[in-house]
């Protein structure tokens, strides 16, 4: 007895590129190195909807989130201080200015 199956959507590379999942060349490279499974339909590749998680998320959807706690803010402040202190060829005044800019972000 055959069971009913649902058809899974197949995305052309152009559509994924337009949705900011990466450049077509990058997608093709990942297909050829085996890190992104694909189905070949005619002479074109298609990506299964269930395999989109392997591409992570669209580049254009990378949203910045606010730090969730005071500890996150402390970590950011420590990172900003480390970047500023190790930055080469900056005067003390410029380092202070860069520190203020990074802390405000």
Per-residue pLDDT of the chain (105 residues; tens, 9 = 90+): 555 567 889 999 999 998 888 889 999 999 999 989 999 999 999 999 989 888 865 555 545 555 555 566 567 777 777 776 676 666 778 777 877 877 765
* Residues 55 and 87 grouped into a single domain: no
Is 64 inside a domain boundary? no
Query: Residue 26 domain-assigned?
Result: yes
Domain-embedded: residue 65? no
Domain range enclosing 82? 70-104
Same domain? 22 vs 55: yes
Tell me if 42 is assigned to some domain. yes
Does residue 74 sit in the same domain as residue 99?
A: yes
Q: DSSP readout, 56-86?
A: -S-GGG-------SHHHHHHHHHHHHHHHHH
Q: Are residues 74 and 42 in the same domain?
A: no
Domain tally, the chain: 2
Residue 2 counted as domain residue: no
pTM of the full structure: 0.49
């Amino acid at each position: 007895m055959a069971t009913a199956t649902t058809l899974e959507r197949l995305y052309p590379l152009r559509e994924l590129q337009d949705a900011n999942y990466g450049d077509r060349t990058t997608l093709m490279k990942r297909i050829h190195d085996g890190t992104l499974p694909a189905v070949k339909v005619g002479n074109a590749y298609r990506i299964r909807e269930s395999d989109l998680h392997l591409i992570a998320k669209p580049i254009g959807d990378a949203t910045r989130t606010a730090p969730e706690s005071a500890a996150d803010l402390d970590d950011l402040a420590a990172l900003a201080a480390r970047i500023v202190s190790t930055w080469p060829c900056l005067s003390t005044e410029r380092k202070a200015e860069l520190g203020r800019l990074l802390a405000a972000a």
